[in-house]
Amino acid sequence: MAASAKPKREKVRDTGQFSLPAFRPVQLATLVDSVPSGARWLHEIKYDGYRLELAVGGGEARAYTRSGLDWSEKFAAIAADAAKLKVGSALIDGEAVVADQNGRSSFQALQGALKGAPASIEYYAFDLLELDGEDLTGLPLTERKARLRRIIPTRGTRLHYSDHIEGSGEKLLHSFCDAGLEGVISKQATGRYIGSRSGGWLKTKCIKRQEFVVVGWTPSDKSRAFRSLMLGVHENGELRYAGKVGTGFSLDEIQRLMETMKPLEQNVATVKAPRADARGAHWLRPKLVAEIAFTEMTNDGTLRHPSYLGLREDKKPEAVVLETEAHVEAVAEPATSSIAISNRERVVFPESNITKGQLADYYAAVAGVMLPWIGSRPISLVRCPQGRAKKCFFQKHDAGSFGDMVKHLGIREKDGHEEPYLYLDTADGLLTCVQMGTIEFHGWGARIEDVEKADRLVFDLDPDEGLDFEAVRTAAFHFRDILKSIGLATFPMVTGGKGVHVIAPLTPQAEWPEVKDFAHRLAQAVAQSDPEHFTAALPKAQRKGRIFIDYLRNQRGATAVMPYSVRARPGAPVAAPITWKEMESIDKPSHFGIGSAAELVRRARFKTLSGWGRASQVLPDL
């Protein structure tokens, strides 16, 4: 591991003056075919466990999954040790693991520990996002890790600092593979922390393994309950057959799986499978996700030599897609995007002569601050291939015309069938959409890891024609105060249109019927308490002279314009986060435009918007 001086201990702080940090989207690693070379890369062990973000503050701690679910009860011992850290507050990224008898982290051992011996679970911290109220994500990785090292005790705790080496990554991978470890994570030494898949973190595996959806099981002619599990994976937004797995099960796990699968059985085939494989199959509703190791994928798309490792509760079946290796040279370069933009001189905004090239340059510039909000979230696009003055249309599904950079997520509709919704998690995905004529990006109020649980409330304050922005400003503060009175912290965003969004982030817990009902009742209550200025009525005839509280963004499948999205309006205005202090004096909802890219990035990365859009809170009783 990297040689370093004895860590300097941080001084003890008054924990009472710091609040608990909110969850932040985690940085994700891209799978590559070999370890990147060069001194600008740090290399760490790839742990075989559950990704956890630890929030510490005010003498308590919480543990969040990679999708923001609160799993503090599952990892109570780790959270208890984190609460004892000598810090005012901290937000730590790391992995919860259990070591087997050979000292290797084992996902199967972790699964067993969660069921019976949680005290054996350890936590390896590898990044520090916040410390004592200071946002560290803009600092180089080496500096973040140096601060992290100083706050993690060296003994007497389940928390450990995850060390690294500089350079020699390929040699490290070989030694890890020989030792039976999972692989190597390579990170740019000077890289900022970006809550998306940016190319700054890469992963190289010793053996192929990933999640698959359990779509059925085949019976055994011996004593055990099943012979094999039938597997599926999403491709182009549809669930397809990926083969069977019949090894890796203990007797206890077989019994547990049978009990878990029984209520999920259905009479119709979950996927189309070869007749020989489907003979005698017990089909299941696609609700379970299993971690599977395998040697390769055959030409017909099924697994060769698969082995079962355990069920994953931190990933939803809708988000399970086949992970393929990228060439390391293609993703390890520092460039923001490799997408070629054609027809750069085409005028997209005729009233201001703004071109497609300028629009693409804007999105390339803001990708790093936009992706944490739009990434890994079902999206809808406003596409204007011939410019905003010509025909524009909404698009939320795709049959593959966007290529590999824009992903598909199969989401079940009301009638039971799945539709391929769009999502992206890289700058290349963002620029691919722009190349295809996209101007606006709108997103669901939930992430792909669990589309049924909302991670925010959005109230769109939409003024009637003739009302000036002063009325909207006053309404926004009024709405903020009402939400604050029931325990919800909120953040404003000018939409680039006529109004303002008042946004209340949520820890993903409440499902859509509850969220929609809450939003509807709150909008009605506000409108009834001040009918002269507000209305929650849908007919436009009833909105005259008032501000419509658009609560309909808070239902399954509804979208709202995303932070930093350009609007298909004259002058190319931008939806932009602002502070409540700035709300007092900002001149109009279209204050920012695509010419503001550098300013928007600077605001997001430094203190202006520190903590914007993040709060640890759930729906209160209303």
Residue 367 · residue 337 · CB < 8 Å: yes
Q: How far apart are CA 471 and CA 464, in angstroms?
A: 10
Active site annotation includes 453:
no
Contact criterion met (CB below 8 Å) for 458 and 505: no
The 8-class DSSP code of residue 415 comes to T
- CA–CA separation, 319 vs 287, rounded Å? 11
Q: Please provide residue 120's backbone torsions phi and psi, each rounded to the nearest 5 degrees.
A: -85, -5
| Residue tagged active-site, from 6, 46, 208, 287 | 46
Taking a C-beta distance cutoff of 8 angstroms, is the pair 446, 454 a contact?
yes
Which helix (H) or strand (E) element contains residue 87?
A: none
- Nearest of 153, 187, 180, 212 to residue 48 by alpha carbon: 180
Q: What are phi and psi of 580, to 5 degrees?
A: -65, -30
Can you say how many angstroms the Cα of residue 302 is from the centroid of all Cα atoms in its chain? Answer: 28
CB 362 within 8 A of CB 566: yes
Give the integer Cα–Cα distance in Å for 389 and 567: 13
Q: How far apart are CA 317 and CA 509, in angstroms?
A: 17
> Are the C-beta atoms of 190 and 40 separated by less than 8 Å?
yes
Please give the structure tokens belonging to residue 277: 């494989």
Q: Residues 605, 599: contact at Cβ < 8 Å?
A: no
With 0-12 / 13-18 / 19 or more C-beta atoms within 10 angstroms meaning exposed / middle / buried, residue 466 is exposed
Amino acid symbol at 488: L
Separation between Cα atoms, residue 385 and residue 398, nearest integer Å: 16
Contact (CB, 8 A) for 347 and 387: yes
246, amino acid identity = G
Q: What is the chain's length?
A: 622
Q: What is the Cα–Cα distance from 36 to 58, expressed in whole angstroms?
A: 40
User: What residues contact 39, with CB distance under 8 A and at least 6 apart?
Assistant: 166, 167, 189
CB 376 within 8 A of CB 447: yes
What backbone phi and psi angles, to 5 degrees, belong to 414? Answer: -60, -35
Do the strands 159-161 and 576-577 form a parallel or antiparallel pair, or are they unpaired?
Answer: unpaired
**Residue type, position 548, single letter:** F
Dig out the tokens for 443 from the structure: 């997103």
DSSP state of 15: G
Neighbouring-strand partners of residue 124: 95, 160
Cα four-point dihedral sign 278, 280, 283, 288 = negative
Query: 109 Cβ partners below 8 Å, 6+ apart?
Result: 98, 99, 100
Which residues does residue 234 pair with via DSSP β-bridges, in sequence order?
A: 239, 321
Residues annotated as catalytic are 46
